[in-house]
Structure 1
Amino acid sequence: MRSFALLSLLSCISTARVPYSEYVLTPKSRTLRPSQVYNVNGTVDAAKDLTTKHSARTVFRGPSAVTYDFGKEVVGLVSFNVNEVVAPDESFIGISFIESRLWINSEGCDATADSGIDQALWWSVEPGGTYTAEKWHQRGGFRYLNVYHNTTGDVTLSDLTVDYTAIPQYSEEQLASGIQTGYFHCEDEQINRVWYAGAYMNQVCTIDATAGNSLIYLGVVNSTSDITEPLPWYNNYTISNGSAALVDGGKRDRLIWPGDILISQPGIFVSTYDMEMLRDSLDSLLVLQNASGALPYAGRPFGVEVPIWSFTYHLHSLTDIHAQYLYTGNDTYLQHNWDTYKLALNFSLSFIDSSGMANVTTSADWLRFGMGGHNIEANSILYYNLNQAINLAASANEALWDPELNLYRDNDTQPLTNLHPQDGNAFAIISNLTLNAERAVNISQALQSRWGQYGAPAPEAGETVSPFVSGFELQARYIAGRPEAAVNLTRLLWGDFMLDDPRMTNSTFIEGYSTNGDLHYAPYSNDPRISHAHGWATGPTSTLTFFGAGLQVTSAAGKTWLIEPQLGGLQNIEAGYQTNVGSFSSQVMALDRGGLNVTFSTPQGTSGNVRLRYAGRFASLTVSNLDEQNSATERKLSQRILRRQVSSDEMQEKVVTVDGLVGGNYNVILQVLDLA
């Protein structure tokens, strides 16, 4: 039975369509039509007909408007036909775009700048004409589309479509057959939808490399601007040398940021494995390295026009390089960038002072406040990059640990700060700066005690919930051995609020918001500017695969691997993805009393370990190699592992490891025998 289930799983992976493709949000065609009418103002005949077939006719009589709903976040160039115009004077049709229904209005789009809203697109129309937005006026993220008629008389429209411009590196045929190489499924439908929304959102944030934000109105804010009219916007800047680039957000900023890649790259790895596009995006940052070794805060044009440097984002670029190699095994790429990497790392080390910690001299980060000094986030990330800096870890633990709250302080400025940040504490667990499991658990529990109705707060950014930083907290909970809390955070923050709240797109995730549930992001004064499709919010997509399903690669493209599932209260998880060396998959089912039944497949020619956690005094482990030619190995493995089981009187979580497995098909059963 187990063998049949695994073989069925493998047969699905080998075909063009992966399992559970019904959850995939990627359109099958680049020609999109609205799914329904959201609202009508004035007199519009047959408004619904524009959602159906291209020959349908919709008549706008006098000043009137329709808001169309695509049912999910989309991107692209709008087009429509004008069939008839019956009017005494010149007639105009306008189009505007909105992500959240909060900002639907009669004046223009939601915002990409720091002030006001963006202009609508207007055309003077005549009978028999076809009207299409210019390429630089493609809209990079919207769910709702407003169609306005603001003049007297009647105008008849047909064939209202959007040319989907995301993921331009894929052909129409590839979209039709499906581009995903990875999948995820569990018994919780909301968790499934979160995973696939993250996968889709990274696609929304993959744009034509010549369609970046030109930043015409960068820095225009309400307090200094005398602009009262909606602002024009232009997506026409070349931001990388590839055909496509991964940017932070579909609507804005449409720029390449190393911090966003930090979250998005693993999500793309487990969903579409589009590593060439990621390499081109990362290269656009590395070419901007200066003589000192500093890597840019962001790519062009921001990284050139704005002289800002960020200690943490500099380090994120180093992590991104490591991940690119880990996921691809591209030795040529690593060798080509090795001098860049070393120069950047040495530049980071130059900030370490007599305290044994890095003293950060720049405030730039992910829009949090107060970055600087011996900051816990910066030092945790530096330690994560170094991986060997034991003296650095000891210094940070001594100077910044607050034993009363079981959290690290933000920095060691005097008098001691009362700020205990989410980012630094989460990354302290990820980087193992804590140096012991008990402290990691204590931090995880302390962070959870601060959760509110709408998620996990990031007090380092005021009254803010940051999906970016919460993505690190999500990882930290699994690493600390608290998977139930990770699953609960996924439901609370990503599922209940960011996915299912009616103000959201119900298909992508917002950039940030207020702890009271308002769609206000503390660093911005202009709420319509908030991005509702921001790649740095896609943490659950990779985290659920790596830690929930336990499907991790530990060296180049998966030549070595680790299977370490943590169900976290879920009853079953299936996941799979592909790399340059082959396909990886796992199927995990809960057994009585905390046991696990794990079936997994890894490519031939690879090797790896299985690590399972359990609570109880007695457990047995059976390892079965499902490849018939290795039946003898199966018996030896089972006997060897069973002898490793040692009874204990301590009722605590334990970890058992099966090491030295070669790539193939396996079934591992962990049975907990005594919980008394």
Structure 2
Amino acid sequence: MSSRGHLDRNVNSKVPTLLETPVFRAGFFFLILYIIVLASHPNLDFVVDLSRSSLRALQSAPSTLLALSGSGWAKTQTKTIQYQDYVLAPASRTLHPVSVYKVNGTVSGAQSLVMGSLGSAVFHNKSALTLDYGKNIAGVVSLLIGDASAAMQGIGITFSESSLWISGLGSDATAESGIDEILWIRPTSPGTYTVSREHERGAFRYLSLVHNSSGALEVKEVTTYFTAMPHYGEDQLRSYTGYFHCDDELINRIWYAGAYTNQLCTIDAKHGNSYVHLDTVTSLMSGDSVPGRTWYNNFTITNGTSALVDGAKRDRLVFSADMVTALPGIVTSTYDLITVKNSLDSLFALQDTSTGQLPYVGSGYPLMYSATYHLYTLIVLADYYLYSGDIAYVHGLWEQYKLALNFSLRSIDDSGLMDVNSPHDWLRFGMGGHNIEANAILYHTLHRAIELANALKDPSMVQTWQAHATGIKLAANALLWDPVQGMYRDNETASSLMPQDGNVWAVLSNLTASASQIESISAHLAGRWTAFGAPAPEAGDAICPFVAGLELRAHLVAGNAQHAVDLVRKMWGYMLEGPSMTNSTLVEGYAVDGSLRYKPYSNDAKISHAHGWSTGPTSVLTFQIAGIQLLEAAGKTWRIEPSLGDLRRVEAGFATVVGRFKVDAARGYGTVWMKISFETPLGTKGSLSVEHPECKGLVEVQNVCGYGEQTKSIPITKKRSTRERIAVNDLEGGIWHVVVLCNE
């Protein structure tokens, strides 16, 4: 490390006095500004609170250094975040149950096994005990066995994420039918017995101990060694680089549940699902005909230490679609890009180098093609660059990327649309033909490819890609838009199906031809909600959090922040607090009536309760609601665009290799319509976009700490449309305070 990385101890070095520190200068400037503004606007007594809040945030925000070294991402976390009480990750990798959930038969002293104390629980004859860890966890179980009244006794172990599947016969499922086998420990003497590492359980809240013979057996302690986030030190598990807080406690808990879900889905790369029954246990078998099946988590799915998988319990494999949602959530919480890179590498390593085809699933699953997942891999690479700025990594995969995109473009027929010839997607039904979802994703991918080409200074394919994109947009609107329904049809043959996924992607990709289409789609999507969330009619009666997370973003594009906030409360609130949910992680899917059935599966016990594709709110709340939007290379350019809905105050922040980004936005009172304080790294550039008030007035923008123009004042006229916002351009990185005032 160069000397710049250390404090200079030279006696001749100049130590700044208090008057020279940026904090003092910022505070002094703002005090003078406050006096001036208060004289003109007596209602601005909130300004002092805003400045104090900003200073507290500066003092308590994470001190995290991130750098790209020759060997990869280097991370040093030196101080934890504010609002850490919400963080669900454990402080220690050694976990103990927190309560007794249920006792069957006679288990004396069961309560002694909770809260980490050494106890004595004696199982008499046939009996069972279910322990509750209080939240979904992952790991390897150990039992400290005491006395036994007779030899050859055993203790069986079963797991369940949901209370719905607690059983003494086996664990909840990882196969297409039936349940997973019980694990038996048969002690020969007192001591500690640990299950094999291949039987680490990827996610469970409830652990049951089963004694199925006569006699008595003593268990003195039950522990689980937490195996998620294997590349993090024990003291780093809770050291997030990002935070979120608002005036709605449920929404706060949802943000942190998403962050924790992504942590559980970050596993040891050597412990993916081995899928030993992939070809022998099928969805056509009844659960009664399938006894508890063997299960092993011992398959190497990527290089490196860690891998980002779809679900913590299952499938424990790399899926690009799940990464599309998980990656932004990781950026806003832990910034664990090492794991993302390992997982991307594993997908590109399986590319057919003659055709360009990318895999539907990473290592551990038969090679097959999905038109959408193929494109999702390309989107994840573009997102990885956006959040990391690692252009060298993109350059190393660029030829493979272009080959893969060309593979998709060869499927465009005379209609101008891609003709999809694979049924594989997120398990929605009816994928194929001129499907709106697949074509909107291709349209989006083409524009992301152009962005990467510009970053790499490679214009060779840009005109071709632009021409294809233009053709897709024209054809999709001509063939698939239904003006009566106000939405896009799934394809020409499914005239009555207006899919959630395709309409959401049409908005997000800007495939729509007008603002009125966007507003219509948003309104119709919201009009279909049930009491439990946003349905996906393309998957029967399913609610799919993956697609619903994308719907959140679509409502915000439409200018309907309130729809997004309402859906987070309604759907993710249920996913967190509903019956048989984990109250800590986010479920893969369920039915429109709220039951834990997922139409794409015939085995309800298989549903994952910690699924990365369900974590959409963790990024949406930071990027779109708080409004910290990175536009280029880890935030070298940015836009601050808060959209609060009915929230009164939102705070959020995170760090990238460029530096720290923070926003504190709040509704005002009286003539003060909104107040915003934000921080972006010095040396960056960006803009501000503010919701237009229902009045004429003034936007005052003051640079408290940084470079560039110190004050901007923008007069505003009365609001003309739902999506109208006030733009302030050409802002330099630094600390800014914004006040939106009404003067009528």
Distance 1:451 1:347, change over 3 A: same
Residue 468 in 1 paired to residue 546 in 2? Answer: yes
Task: Find 2:348's aligned residue among 286, 309, 314.
Answer: 286
Query: What's the CA shift string for 1:23-53, capped at 9, x where partnerless?
Result: 0000000000001000000111110111134
Is the partner of 1:271 in helix, strand or coil? coil
Alignment of 1:216-231 (within 5 A): 216-219=276-279, 220-221=281-282, 223-224=284-285, 228-231=290-293
Residue 670 in 1 paired to residue 730 in 2? Answer: no
Partner of 1:318: 378
The TM-score normalised by the length of structure 2 is 0.86
Contact 1:615 1:653 in 2 (8 A): no
Alignment of 1:96-135 (within 5 A): 96-135=158-197
Is the partner of 2:393 in helix, strand or coil? helix
CA distance in 2, matches of 1:292, 1:592: 61
Task: Find 2:606's aligned residue among 529, 532, 553.
Answer: 529
Is the partner of 1:80 in helix, strand or coil? strand
Partner of 1:155: 217
Residue 610 in 1 paired to residue 658 in 2? Answer: no
The TM-score normalised by the length of structure 1 is 0.95
Distance 1:123 1:14, change over 3 A: closer
Query: What's the CA shift string for 1:220-240, capped at 9, x where partnerless?
Result: 125357953210000000000
| Cα displacement (A) at 1:436 | 2.2
CA distance in 2, matches of 1:210, 1:672: 59
Task: After superposing the two structures, state which structure 1 stretch, 504-513 or 589-598, moved more.
Answer: 589-598
Partner of 1:355: 415
Is the partner of 1:626 in helix, strand or coil? strand
Is the partner of 2:314 in helix, strand or coil? coil
Task: Find 2:149's aligned residue among 86, 90, 94.
Answer: 86
| Cα displacement (A) at 1:168 | 0.3
CA distance in 2, matches of 1:296, 1:329: 25
Is the partner of 2:154 in helix, strand or coil? strand
Partner of 2:445: 385
Task: Find 2:620's aligned residue among 506, 530, 543.
Answer: 543
CA distance in 2, matches of 1:464, 1:10: 44
Task: Find 1:74's aligned residue among 137, 146, 171.
Answer: 137
Contact 1:54 1:160 in 2 (8 A): no
Is the partner of 1:528 in helix, strand or coil? helix
CA RMSD of aligned residues (A): 1.5
Partner of 1:578: 655
Partner of 2:569: 491
CA distance in 2, matches of 1:402, 1:438: 13
Residue 425 in 1 paired to residue 517 in 2? Answer: no
Is the partner of 1:166 in helix, strand or coil? coil
Partner of 2:304: 242
Letter in 2 for 1:111: A
Distance 1:19 1:462, change over 3 A: same
Partner of 1:300: 363
Partner of 2:475: 395
Distance 1:484 1:118, change over 3 A: same
Query: What's the CA shift string for 1:249-290, capped at 9, x where partnerless?
Result: 010000000000000000000000001111011110011110
Residue 9 in 1 paired to residue 57 in 2? Answer: yes
Partner of 1:168: 230
Letter in 1 for 2:709: T
Distance 1:470 1:35, change over 3 A: same
Partner of 1:181: 241
Partner of 1:190: 250
| Cα displacement (A) at 1:592 | 4.0
Is the partner of 1:162 in helix, strand or coil? strand
Partner of 2:103: 40
Contact 2:587 2:609 in 1 (8 A): yes
Q: Percent identity?
A: 48
Partner of 2:18: none
Is the partner of 1:428 in helix, strand or coil? helix
CA distance in 2, matches of 1:143, 1:53: 16
CA distance in 1, matches of 2:523, 2:218: 61
Residue 500 in 1 paired to residue 548 in 2? Answer: no
Query: What's the CA shift string for 1:463-515, capped at 9, x where partnerless?
Result: 110001000001101111000010000011001x1001131001011111111
CA distance in 1, matches of 2:91, 2:637: 35
Letter in 1 for 2:727: T
Gaps of 5+ in 1: none
Residue 205 in 1 paired to residue 265 in 2? Answer: yes
CA distance in 2, matches of 1:481, 1:222: 42
Partner of 1:482: 560
Distance 1:536 1:652, change over 3 A: closer
Is the partner of 1:63 in helix, strand or coil? strand
Contact 1:57 1:156 in 2 (8 A): yes
Residue 619 in 1 paired to residue 697 in 2? Answer: yes
Is the partner of 1:71 in helix, strand or coil? strand
Query: What's the CA shift string for 1:305-357, capped at 9, x where partnerless?
Result: x2420000011001100010000000110110111111111111111111111
Letter in 1 for 2:541: E
Task: After superposing the two structures, state which structure 1 stretch, 118-127 or 480-489, moved more.
Answer: 118-127
| Cα displacement (A) at 1:661 | 0.6
Contact 1:616 1:653 in 2 (8 A): no
Letter in 2 for 1:264: A
Residue 555 in 1 paired to residue 632 in 2? Answer: yes
Task: Find 1:406's aligned residue among 480, 486, 503.
Answer: 486
Letter in 1 for 2:223: T
| Cα displacement (A) at 1:17 | 1.3
Gaps of 5+ in 2: 1-47, 64-78, 448-465
Contact 1:116 1:222 in 2 (8 A): no
Is the partner of 2:186 in helix, strand or coil? strand
Is the partner of 2:698 in helix, strand or coil? strand
Residue 215 in 1 paired to residue 275 in 2? Answer: yes
CA distance in 2, matches of 1:339, 1:418: 41
Contact 2:157 2:183 in 1 (8 A): yes
Letter in 1 for 2:51: S
Contact 2:62 2:82 in 1 (8 A): no
CA distance in 2, matches of 1:648, 1:52: 59
CA distance in 2, matches of 1:338, 1:11: 41
Task: After superposing the two structures, state which structure 1 stretch, 664-673 or 526-535, moved more.
Answer: 664-673
Partner of 1:254: 316
Letter in 2 for 1:554: L
Query: What's the CA shift string for 1:57-100, capped at 9, x where partnerless?
Result: 1111111110001110000000011110012x520111100011
CA distance in 2, matches of 1:106, 1:60: 14
Partner of 1:336: 396
Letter in 2 for 1:385: T
Residue 590 in 1 paired to residue 667 in 2? Answer: yes
Query: What's the CA shift string for 1:119-145, capped at 9, x where partnerless?
Result: 110021233221101000000010100
CA distance in 2, matches of 1:59, 1:127: 15
Letter in 2 for 1:656: I
Contact 1:615 1:654 in 2 (8 A): no
Query: What's the CA shift string for 1:561-617, capped at 9, x where partnerless?
Result: 110000011000000000001110000001248932110000011110101121435
Letter in 2 for 1:444: S
| Cα displacement (A) at 1:650 | 4.1
Partner of 2:406: 346
Is the partner of 1:621 in helix, strand or coil? strand
Letter in 2 for 1:211: H
| Cα displacement (A) at 1:673 | 3.7
